[in-house]
Amino acid sequence: MNNRKMVMAVLVAVLIGWLSVINVSAAEVQKVNINTASAGELTRLKGVGPAIAARIIAYREKNGAFKMPEDLMQVPGIGQKVFAANQELIVVQDSAPKKE
C-alpha cells in the first residue's frame, strides 16, 4: 500500500510539473499587436532587438498604423525570413479603441 501511495505522489508531482511548463509556454506565445506594441513587446519577436523595435515604432509613427501583418516587411531590417519566423505571433489591430 505504501508503494502505491508513493507512486501516486510521484505521478501527481510530475503532472503538476508538466502543467506549469504548459502554462509558461502558453504565456510565451502571446500575440504582438504591431500597431500598439512597445519596444519591449516588439523585442519578443524572433530577430527583433532594440534597434529594429525602434525602427518599427518610428515607421509606425511616420506612416500610420499597419494595415496587414505583411506591412511589417516595409520596415528596414524586417525581411521575409524574420517575418516568416514571427508570422503566427503578429497581429494588426486598431491602435485606438473604437467609439460607439
Residue pLDDT, tens place only, 30-86:
899 999 999 999 999 999 999 999 999 999 999 999 999 999 999 999 999 999 999
C-alpha cell at 98: 473604437
- Based on the fold, state whether residues 37 and 52 are members of the same structural domain: yes
Q: Which residues contact 63 (CB under 8 A, 6 or more apart)?
A: 74
> Is the pLDDT assigned to residue 29 strictly greater than 50?
yes
Q: Which residues contact 83 (CB under 8 A, 6 or more apart)?
A: 69, 70, 72, 73, 90
> Is the pLDDT assigned to residue 9 strictly greater than 50?
yes
Neighbours of 20 (CB within 10 A): 10
- Tell whether 97 is covered by a domain: no
- Based on the fold, state whether residues 49 and 62 are members of the same structural domain: yes
pLDDT of 68 reads: 95
What is the number of domains present in the chain? 2
CA 43-44-45 angle, 5° bins:
85
- Tell whether 63 is covered by a domain: yes
Contact 19, 45 (CB under 8 A): no
- Tell whether 44 is covered by a domain: yes
pLDDT of 3 reads: 80
Domain of residue 37, residue span: 32-91
